[in-house]
Amino acid sequence: MRINDFEHLIQEIKAKALSDSDEYISLMRTVGNNYKYDFTSQLSIYNRNTNARACGEFDFWRKKFNRTVKRGEKGIPIYKNYGEYGKVTYIFDLSQTVSMTRATNQVELWELTMGKIA
């Protein structure tokens, strides 16, 4: 995906999310679940998967959680700034991954319930 296409897509998503209160609440849930990314990346995550709970790059899932991306899954495009230049890279949600050892490999996710972090 080219950077210009990505920027145009982000503007469309922003307009959609801000046009309806239910869309906005859904966006805020996605933002809360993926807080480590900048707002532009969160808009892209919301556009591809409103139920995204935990996103990371391909190597992140392999190295940190011994998981790999399922065959045929399409990544979520995000813009990464590398100082003098930037480029569109791809991340994947937990739901797009599977354990590399085929064993039960649960990933503990934080959750906000009744005002407490569980």
- 28 Cβ contact partners less than 8 Å away, ≥ 6 residues apart: none
Mean pLDDT of 33-54: 88
Residue 89: is it exposed, middle or buried by C-beta count within 10 angstroms (0-12/13-18/19+)? Answer: middle
The DSSP annotation for 57-91 comes to: -HHHHHHHHSEEEPTTPPPEEEEEE-SS-EEEEEE
pTM for this model (two decimals): 0.78
In this predicted structure, what is the pLDDT of residue 61? Answer: 92
Structure tokens at 55: 């996103």
Question: Which one has a higher pLDDT value, 83 or 49?
Answer: 49
Indicate whether 114 pLDDT > 80: no
Mean pLDDT throughout 69-79? 93
pLDDT band at 82 (very low <50, low <70, confident <90, very high): confident
Residue 102 pLDDT greater than 80, yes or no: no
- Domain boundary assignment for the chain: 3-117
